[in-house]
Amino acid sequence: MSHNDRVLATNRRAYHDYFIDETIEAGLALTGSEIKSVRAGQMNLKESYALIRNGQAWLIGSHISPYDPSSRDNHEPARERRLLLHRREIARLSEKVQQRGYTLVPTRVYLKANRAKLEIGLARGKKQYDKRQAIAERDAKREMDRSLKLR
């Protein structure tokens, strides 16, 4: 992702619940009303995930709100959306997910050259103590920054 890409939606929960080892950029196959809602920032990635089925990658569990001006020809808000990846990328991701216990978690949606892109993270689940440790480290860093700022 470059500096001039516009971030439309993020999944902050993904970084809290998972260790993200690698990220991959994928295109999104959207209908006309869906892309208009996404551009308006009406997309939610919370509790969504990616799945590889029959040699194709799918985004499941994401929600794109209906676009009000196109009331008659609107889309289904929670439908499965196809991810646009190369066949080799799909095969590599499928292999890692099956063998090593990884999962595919969407981390953010952004516009790149006027096209909607999804950043997928190859993720391993965090245990409860890992989450507590991350919170403790964040608090300690915040306290150090605060004390240095006061001086």
End-to-end CA distance of the chain: 37
The model carries a pTM of: 0.78
At 126, the pLDDT band (50, 70, 90 cuts) reads confident
3-60: pLDDT as tens digits: 667 888 888 888 888 889 899 999 999 888 888 888 888 888 988 999 999 999 999 9
Share of the chain above pLDDT 70, in %: 95
Q: How far is CA 35 from each of CA 30, 56, 66, 101, rounded to the nearest angstrom? A: 6, 21, 10, 32
Q: Which domains does the chain have, with CATH numbers?
A: 6-126 (2.40.280.10)
